[in-house]
C-alpha cells in the first residue's frame, strides 16, 4: 500500500477523527485540572500570609514593638531561604524595618514588584502582600514571593501540553490500528466480491466480525448471492432445456421444409407450407411457455397481486370447458364455494385451471368424470381438479411438474410437457402448495392457498 | 382512411406494409418514435399500429405523447413482450389492442379491421340485427325468423361479439380475449366447441348459415344477403 493511499484510507480518517475527539476532550480536562491546582496554590499562599500576620500581631500585643521587631528578625533568619518579607511603619509614617527597599505596599491584599539581588544577578520578583493595622496603629505588611506558584503553573502547563499531545498521538495510533483492522476485514470482503464478479460464483463473503450488525450484513449478502445463484441456475436450466427440447421440433420443421421444396404441385406445396406454419407455431408456443415459466420462477408479477374472486375465475374456466368435455364424451362438473377471495393475479390463476382441466381432458379416455372443486377447509382456500382416469403412478408424480417431462403413454398426444411446470410456477408465485394425489382411481391436483386468504 | 405503421425492423416493416396494402389499406410507414409523433399529430390516421420497442421514444412513449396531444385514433401495439404486466401497461398508455409477436398475418389484419370499424362516437346499440337474426341486448333475447332461441350466458356473449363485428373476420384469439378474458391459448378446442353449440341453435334449420368458418383464421358473421 502506498503512503498516499494510507493517508486517504478510511483507517487514517477514522484515526484522525478519533484523535481530534480525544485531543479536544483531554485539552478540556487538563485545563480544568490546571486551573483548580493553581487556584489551590494561591489560596494556600494567602492562608500562610494571614497566619504569619496573625502571629506577628500577637507578638506586638503581648510584648510591644520591641518583641515584634525581635520576632521579625527571628523569622527572617528561620530556614535557608527567606519565606516572608516584612515592612513595619509606625503611626507617624516612620519605617521601622523593611525588606522592600523604597516600595511601600499598603493595607489589605496587594502585589509588589521588588528588585532582587539573589545569587544569579538582579531580577524583579512579584510578591503577594498582606497589610494589617496593629494595635498601636502601626502598619505591618507581610509578603511572600509567588515564584513557586508560577513555577507550579509553568510545570502544569508543560504537563498539560505533554499529556494532550501524548493522548492525541495515542488516539491517532490506536485509531489507525483499529481502523486498519476494520479496513483489512472489509478489504477481505472486497477481494471476495471481486472474485465472485470474476466468475467464482460459489464463493461466499467472509464475515467482517467486530459487531453482529456487520455479520448480519455479510450473512444477508450471502443469502442474496444464494438467491441470485439459484435464479441463474434456473435460467441456465431453461436455456439448456430450450437447446435440447427445441431441437426435435426444429428438426421436424426443417424436414418439412425440405419436403416442401420437393413438392411438384401447387396443392402439395400449399399443404406443405401450412404444416410448416403449424409446426412453427408449436415451437413458438413452447418458447412462450418457457419464457413465462422463467419469469414466474424469478418472482416477477407478485407486485401486481390483488384480491381476486377465485370463484368467479374457476366458474369462467369451467364454463369455457364444459362444451369441450361434452364433445369428448366426458363429464365436467363444478363444485365451487361462493365468493372465495384470494390474493393473486387473476389471469395467471385462470391459466392454472385452464391447464389442469386441459390436462384432465387430454389425458383421459371418454366417459371420464372430472370435478372442478373450490372449498374452504380450516381457514384455507383449496382448489382442485380431479378425474377418475388412469391417474399418474406415485413415482412419476414429482416428475410431471418438471419442464418437458412427459409420461410414456402421452408422448403421442399434443403438448410439450410444460403445462404442469407452468402450473407449479404460478402456484409457487402465489405461495400455494401444489399436491398431486391418487384420486382412487385417477388423479387429483390440489392447490392449497396460504392461510389468511379469507372469504368475503 | 390511412393507417400509420411504426416499426423499426426493416424486414418486418416491409412485410407488414405488404400485408396491409394487399388487403387494400393505404399505409404510411416510419421507423422512429419522433417520426411517428410528427406524422400522427395530424390526426388523419384511422388506426395507429405501433411497435412497442423502437429506438429513441418507444411505442409506449409515442402513444402517451399522442394521447396527451388529443389524438384519438385507435392504436394497436405490436410487441415481443409477452408478460401480463406488459399488456396492462400498454392498455393503460391508451392502446386499444395488443398483439404479441410473432403473429399470423390474418390475425394482424383482423385486429386492424376490428379497430377500423370501431365507431368513434359510441352510440348506444340496444338491438343487433343481421339478416333475419335479431339480438336484443337489453331483454337479452335472440330471435331468428320470428322464432325465439334460448342461449346460455356464454353463448349470448359469443354471439354478441360476433354480431358487433359482423362482416369481419374474428380470430379465435380475439374471442378468447374478449369473451372469456383468456390471454393465452388453451390446447383444446374451447372456441370450436362453443361455436358448434351456437351454430346448432342459431343456424341449424334456418337454411342460410350466418356463422361462417374462415379457414386458418377464425369466424365471420355473413352480413351480406
Q: What pLDDT score was predicted for residue A129?
A: 87
Map out the domains of chain B as residue ranges: 2-117, 127-221
Give the torsion sign (CA, B59, B65, B67, B73). Answer: negative
Q: How far is B186 from chain A (nearest CA, A)?
A: 7
ipTM: 0.81
Q: Other C-beta atoms within 10 Å of B46: how many? A: 18
- CATH numeric code, A303-448: 3.30.565.10
E strand or H helix at B108, and its extent?
A: helix B105-117
Residues 122-181 of B with CB under 8 A from A: 153-154, 180-181
Chain A residue with the nearest C-alpha to that of B187 = A358
Phi, psi (deg, nearest 5) at residue A81: -115, 135
Beta-bridge mates of residue A446:
A384, A435
- A87 Cβ neighbours under 8 A, 6+ residues apart: A95, A97, A98, A99, A100, A104, A105, A139, A140, A141, A143
CATH class of domain segment(s) B127-221: mainly alpha
Judged on CB neighbours under 10 Å (0-12, 13-18, 19+), B150 is: exposed
pLDDT above 50 (res A185): yes
A316 in contact with B, Cβ within 8 Å: yes
pLDDT above 80 (res A8): no
Q: What pLDDT score was predicted for residue A63?
A: 82
Query: B49 near B29, Cβ under 8 Å?
Result: no
**What are the tens digits of pLDDT across the range A322-363?**
999 999 999 999 999 998 999 998 888 999 999 999 999 999
CA dist A289 and A306 (Å) reads 23
Of A403-407, B55-59, B118-122, the poorest mean pLDDT is in B118-122
**What are the tens digits of pLDDT across the range A231-272?**
888 778 777 877 777 888 888 899 999 999 988 899 999 999
Q: What pLDDT score was predicted for residue A116?
A: 66
Percent of chain B scoring above 90 in pLDDT: 50
> Looking at beta carbons, which residues of chain A come within 8 Å of B178?
none
Q: Other C-beta atoms within 10 Å of B53: how many? A: 14
CATH topology (fold) of B2-117: Rossmann fold (3.40.50)
Mean pLDDT within A83-91: 83
Q: What pLDDT score was predicted for residue A1?
A: 46
pLDDT above 60 (res A119): no
Residues 353-372 of A with CB under 8 A from B: 354, 358, 361-362
**pTM greater than 0.80 (yes/no):** no
pLDDT above 50 (res A290): yes
Residue A119, all three cell numbers: 545569587
How many Å is the maximal CA-CA distance in chain A? 159
**What are the tens digits of pLDDT across the range B68-110?**
988 888 999 998 877 767 788 888 888 999 898 888 888 999 9
pLDDT above 80 (res B29): yes
E strand or H helix at A141, and its extent?
A: strand A139-145
Instruction: Answer yes or no: do B84 and A361 touch at CB < 8 A.
Output: no
Of A126-130, A202-206, A370-374, A451-455, the poorest mean pLDDT is in A451-455
CA separation (Å) from A86 to A51, A103, A115? 14, 12, 15
Residue A279, all three cell numbers: 409446426
What is the side-by-side order of every strand in the sheet holding B2-6?
B26-30, B2-6, B45-51, B75-79, B97-100
Whether the upstream peptide bond of residue A119 has omega within 30° of 0, thus cis, is no
Size of interface A-B (CB pairs under 8 A): 65
Instruction: Answer yes or no: do B84 and A321 touch at CB < 8 A.
Output: no
Closest CA to B57 of B16, B8, B116, B118: B8
> Looking at beta carbons, which residues of chain A come within 8 Å of B197?
323
Instruction: Answer yes or no: do B185 and A295 touch at CB < 8 A.
Output: no
B92 in contact with A, Cβ within 8 Å: no
pLDDT above 80 (res A84): yes
Instruction: Answer yes or no: do B82 and A288 touch at CB < 8 A.
Output: yes
Query: DSSP assignment of B60-89, as one string?
Result: HHHHHHHHHTT----EEEEES---HHHHHH
Chain A residue with the nearest C-alpha to that of B80 = A288
Interface test with B, best of A354, A364, A368 (most B CBs within 10 A): A354
CATH topology (fold) of A3-154: Beta-Lactamase (3.30.450)
Phi, psi (deg, nearest 5) at residue B187: -70, -40
Amino acid at each position: 500500500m502506498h503512503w498516499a493511499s494510507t493517508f486517504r484510507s478510511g483507517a487514517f480518517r477514522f484515526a484522525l477523527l478519533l484523535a481530534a475527539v480525544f485531543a479536544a476532550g483531554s485539552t478540556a480536562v487538563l485545563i480544568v485540572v490546571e486551573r483548580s491546582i493553581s487556584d489551590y496554590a494561591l489560596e494556600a499562599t494567602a492562608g500562610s500570609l494571614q497566619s504569619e500576620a496573625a502571629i506577628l500581631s500577637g507578638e506586638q500585643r503581648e510584648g510591644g514593638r520591641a518583641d515584634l521587631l525581635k520576632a521579625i528578625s527571628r523569622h527572617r533568619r528561620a530556614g535557608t531561604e527567606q519565606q516572608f518579607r516584612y515592612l513595619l511603619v509606625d503611626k507617624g509614617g516612620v519605617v521601622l524595618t523593611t525588606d522592600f527597599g523604597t516600595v511601600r505596599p499598603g493595607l489589605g491584599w496587594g502585589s509588589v514588584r521588588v528588585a532582587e539581588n539573589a545569587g544569579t544577578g538582579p531580577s524583579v520578583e512579584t510578591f503577594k502582600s498582606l497589610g494589617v493595622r496593629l494595635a498601636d496603629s502601626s502598619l505591618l505588611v507581610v509578603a511572600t514571593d509567588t515564584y513557586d506558584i508560577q513555577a507550579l503553573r509553568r510545570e502544569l502547563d508543560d504537563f498539560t501540553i505533554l499529556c494532550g499531545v501524548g493522548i492525541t498521538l495515542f488516539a491517532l495510533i490506536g485509531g489507525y490500528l483499529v481502523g486498519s483492522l476494520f479496513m483489512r476485514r472489509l478489504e477481505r470482503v472486497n477481494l471476495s466480491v471481486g472474485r465472485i464478479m470474476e466468475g467464482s460464483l460459489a464463493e461466499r463473503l467472509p464475515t467482517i466480525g467486530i459487531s453482529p450488525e456487520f455479520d448480519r450484513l455479510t450473512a444477508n449478502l450471502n443469502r442474496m448471492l444464494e438467491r441470485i445463484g439459484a435464479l441463474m441456475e434456473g435460467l441456465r436450466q431453461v436455456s439448456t432445456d430450450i437447446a435440447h427440447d427445441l431441437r426435435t421440433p426444429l428438426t421436424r420443421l426443417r424436414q418439412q421444409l425440405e419436403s416442401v421444396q420437393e413438392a411438384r404441385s401447387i396443392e402439395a406445396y400449399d399443404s406443405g407450407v401450412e404444416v410448416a406454419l403449424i409446426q412453427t407455431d408449436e415451437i413458438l408456443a413452447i418458447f412462450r411457455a418457457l419464457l413465462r415459466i422463467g419469469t414466474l420462477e424469478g418472482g416477477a408479477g407478485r407486485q401486481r397481486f390483488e384480491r381476486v374472486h377465485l370463484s368467479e375465475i374457476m366458474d369462467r374456466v369451467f364454463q369455457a370447458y364444459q362444451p369441450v368435455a361434452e364433445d369428448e364424451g366426458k363429464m365436467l362438473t363444478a363444485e365451487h364455494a361462493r365468493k372465495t377471495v384470494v390474493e393473486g393475479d387473476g389471469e395467471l390463476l385462470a391459466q392454472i385451471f385452464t391447464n389442469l382441466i386441459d390436462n384432465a381432458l387430454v389425458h383421459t379416455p371418454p366417459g371420464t368424470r372430472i370435478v372442478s372443486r373450490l372449498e374452504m377447509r380450516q381457514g384455507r382456500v383449496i382448489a382442485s381438479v380431479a378425474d377418475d382416469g388412469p391417474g399418474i403412478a406415485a413415482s412419476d408424480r414429482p416428475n410431471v411438474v418438471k419442464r418437458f417431462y412427459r409420461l410414456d403413454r402421452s408422448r403421442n398426444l399434443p403438448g410439450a410437457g410444460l403445462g404442469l411446470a407452468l402450473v407449479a410456477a404460478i402456484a409457487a408465485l402465489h405461495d400455494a402448495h401444489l399436491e398431486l394425489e391418487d384420486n382412487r382411481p385417477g388423479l387429483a391436483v390440489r392447490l392449497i392457498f396460504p392461510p389468511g386468504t379469507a372469504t368475503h | 382512411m390511412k393507417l400509420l405503421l411504426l416499426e423499426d425492423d426493416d424486414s418486418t416493416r416491409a412485410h407488414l406494409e405488404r400485408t396491409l396494402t394487399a388487403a387494400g389499406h393505404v399505409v404510411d410507414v416510419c421507423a422512429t418514435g419522433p417520426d411517428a409523433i410528427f406524422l400522427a399529430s395530424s390526426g388523419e390516421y384511422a388506426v395507429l399500429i405501433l411497435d412497442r420497442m423502437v429506438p429513441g421514444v418507444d411505442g409506449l412513449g409515442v402513444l402517451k405523447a399522442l394521447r396527451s396531444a388529443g389524438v384519438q385514433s385507435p392504436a394497436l401495439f405490436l410487441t415481443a413482450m409477452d408478460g401480463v404486466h406488459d399488456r396492462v401497461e400498454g392498455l393503460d398508455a391508451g392502446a386499444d389492442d395488443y398483439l404479441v409477436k410473432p403473429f399470423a398475418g390474418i390475425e394482424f389484419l383482423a385486429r386492424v379491421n376490428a379497430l377500423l370499424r370501431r365507431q368513434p362516437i359510441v352510440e348506444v346499440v340496444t338491438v343487433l340485427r343481421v339478416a333475419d337474426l335479431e339480438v336484443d341486448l337489453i331483454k337479452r333475447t335472440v330471435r331468428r325468423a320470428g322464432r325465439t332461441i334460448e342461449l346460455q350466458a356464454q353463448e349470448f356473449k359469443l354471439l354478441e361479439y360476433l354480431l358487433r363485428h359482423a362482416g369481419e373476420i374474428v380470430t379465435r384469439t380475439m374471442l378468447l380475449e374478449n369473451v372469456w378474458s383468456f390471454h393465452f391459448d388453451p390446447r383444446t378446442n374451447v372456441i370450436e366447441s362453443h361455436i358448434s353449440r351456437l351454430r346448432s341453435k342459431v343456424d341449424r334449420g334456418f337454411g342460410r348459415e350466418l356463422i361462417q368458418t374462415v379457414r386458418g383464421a377464425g369466424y365471420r358473421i355473413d352480413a351480406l344477403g
